[in-house]
Structure 1
Amino acid sequence: MADITVKELKERMLNGEVKYFIDVREEWEFEEDNLGAKLIPLGDIPHRVTEIEELKETELIIHCKSGARAGRAQKYLISRGFTNVRNLIGGIEAFRADQD
């Protein structure tokens, strides 16, 4: 259960290496600012897990505002058999604050 740093995510995004990226914030937060991830709010994950069921063996990168909700989503998905779920350390706040 290795998390991902902002620097690693940005580098991988630049190289087109991020395939499955999920935002677990609320819709209003997503509308204000997003990184291009698929929106599945944390509270909806148990009801929408079938949308990503085929990705159980694939790297999923998830994020929220600061990392807490994504951490909960990460634990839930792992409990459902997902094997490679990575939480963006510091969330979108850290992503936007990083100027490198």
Structure 2
Amino acid sequence: MKEITVQELQEMKERGEDFQLIDVREDFEYQMSNLEGENIPLGGILIEADKISKDKPVVIMCRSGKRSAVALHQLEAQGYTNLANLQGGILAWQQQIDPSIQVY
């Protein structure tokens, strides 16, 4: 499983790289705070897999990196090869990049 750090994600955003960010947390978690990715809760990741690009890098995130790792494994089993898990999830983002965002 490929992983990237929150610093690497921040650099990708700053450079304006073409990638897709998928947040697999539940809707209420996403509404509290998000990194402007697309919200596809883990329970529906395979049902909504057609929304996930196979043509560019995809970063999958959640609160801590555990649910996103599960999502990544499920999608890789479906043939995806362009996925990376965000280490530490939004908790790491809040600790290392933006302490102003609300986490629980």
Both structures adopt the same fold (TM-score exceeding 0.5): yes
Distance (Å, rounded) in 1 between the aligned partners of 2:74 and 2:97: 32
Distance (Å, rounded) in 1 between the aligned partners of 2:3 and 2:64: 13
Identical residues among aligned pairs (%):
42
**One-letter amino acid of the structure 2 residue matched with residue 30 of structure 1:** Y
Q: Does 1:27 align with 2:27?
A: yes
Q: TM-score, normalised by structure 1?
A: 0.91
Q: CA RMSD in A?
A: 1.4
2:6 matched residue in structure 1:
6
Please, which runs of 5 or more residues in structure 1 have no aligned partner? none
Where is the helix percentage greater, Structure 1 or Structure 2? 1
Q: How does 1:39-58 map to 2 (within 5 A)?
A: 39-52=39-52, 55-58=53-56
1:96 matched residue in structure 2:
94
Q: Aligned pair in 2 of structure 1 residues 80, 28: CA closer, same or farther (>3 Å)?
A: same
Q: TM-score, normalised by structure 2?
A: 0.88
**One-letter amino acid of the structure 2 residue matched with residue 96 of structure 1:** Q
Superposition deviation, residue 27 in structure 1: 0.1
Contact 1:56 1:81 in 2 (8 A): no
Distance (Å, rounded) in 2 between the aligned partners of 1:78 and 1:18: 20
4+ residue segments displaced more than 6 Å: none
Contact 1:62 1:74 in 2 (8 A): yes
